[in-house]
């Protein structure tokens, strides 16, 4: 059977533990980050997690790691037929699809990380309850909480104020579920991030986008997208929009995707995919490099 390969790019939770040797043409990206006050290569080598876990540093570090791994996979003959990214990962997916130049994407990611850092609030992963039940519970509490990510059949991430998340945890427990606080710096993918969206959107809209070499499955729409105007509009609203990861996986399956490679340092998306569907074979970057495809 002919393989149809998706490259999947992780979000902010997957920090690189080592610096993957970069092709010469990508080495300059680390210099751009350093010029912005983020010597990411040095911090990764030193294992400086205190600095790297800050949103303004984590986002470019993960993005650069994904872009380098993409180049190495492609040099080894592993190329995508489609690409998708979970939140931050969408920027690396757009680079892989040749929609964005790596330098332009890095500039946007650097700005995104600064804007998203420090907005009050947090996130929690709700397990054992489905999307509609969690959405209903959020509605009962009010605008202080909302669904931020639909990651799996019974894994829904919510964002909100500290008080809202505390209230939600209590009602979730009463329904037989569990709300697990996430170590993030703000209420991502919620209306609370509107100031960051307003500041970043104009920069996205004036950045050059090219026609995708392969389709992009948007985490905002959950559908395959190829129109550059629409891709810009979706990315511009991404910070406040729910990450529809289950819809992304469903779209990939309908497209005939046979294998999905997590192009990052961890296995978060691999594990989510394996729990969500058996129609696609999910593999980590290491497994792909070792010949799993």
The residues annotated with a catalytic role in the active site are 87, 189
- Residue written as token pair 């993030």: 184
- Rounded to whole angstroms, how far apart are CA atoms 180 and 109? 27
Burial of 202 by CB count in 10 Å (0-12 exposed, 13-18 middle, 19+ buried)?
exposed
Q: What sign for the dihedral angle of Cα 264, 228, 238, 156?
A: negative
For the chain, what is the radius of gyration of the CA atoms?
Answer: 18
Phi, psi of 181 (to 5 degrees): -60, 140
Q: Judging by DSSP bridges, how do beta strands 82-85 and 216-217 pair with one another?
A: parallel
* Number of residues written out for the chain: 293
């Amino acid at each position: 059977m002919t393989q149809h390969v998706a490259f999947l790019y992780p979000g902010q939770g997957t920090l690189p533990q080592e610096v993957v040797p970069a092709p010469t043409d990508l080495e300059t990206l680390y210099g751009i980050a350093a010029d912005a006050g983020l010597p990411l290569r040095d911090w990764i080598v030193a294992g400086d997690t205190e600095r790297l876990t800050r949103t303004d540093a984590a986002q470019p570090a993960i993005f650069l790691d994904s872009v380098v791994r993409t180049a190495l996979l492609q040099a080894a003959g592993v190329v995508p037929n489609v690409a998708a990214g979970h939140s931050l990962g969408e920027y690396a997916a757009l680079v892989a699809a040749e929609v964005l130049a790596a330098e332009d994407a890095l500039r946007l990611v650097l700005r995104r990380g600064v804007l998203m850092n420090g907005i009050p609030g947090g996130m929690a992963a709700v397990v054992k309850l489905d999307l509609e039940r969690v959405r209903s519970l959020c509605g009962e509490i009010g605008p202080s909480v909302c669904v931020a990510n639909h990651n799996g059949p019974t894994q829904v991430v919510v964002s909100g104020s500290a008080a809202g998340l505390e209230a939600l945890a209590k009602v979730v427990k009463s329904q037989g579920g569990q709300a697990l606080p996430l170590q993030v710096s703000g209420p991502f993918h919620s209306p609370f991030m509107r100031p960051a969206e307003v500041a970043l959107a104009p920069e996205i809209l004036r950045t050059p986008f090219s026609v995708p070499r392969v389709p992009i499955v948007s985490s905002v729409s959950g559908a395959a997208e190829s129109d550059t105007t629409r891709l810009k509009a979706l990315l511009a609203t991404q910070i406040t929009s729910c990450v529809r990861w289950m819809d992304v996986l469903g779209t990939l399956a309908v497209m005939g995707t046979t294998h999905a490679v997590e192009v990052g340092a961890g296995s978060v998306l691999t594990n989510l995919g394996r729990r969500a569907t058996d129609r696609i074979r999910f593999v980590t970057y290491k497994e792909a490099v070792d010949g799993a495809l």
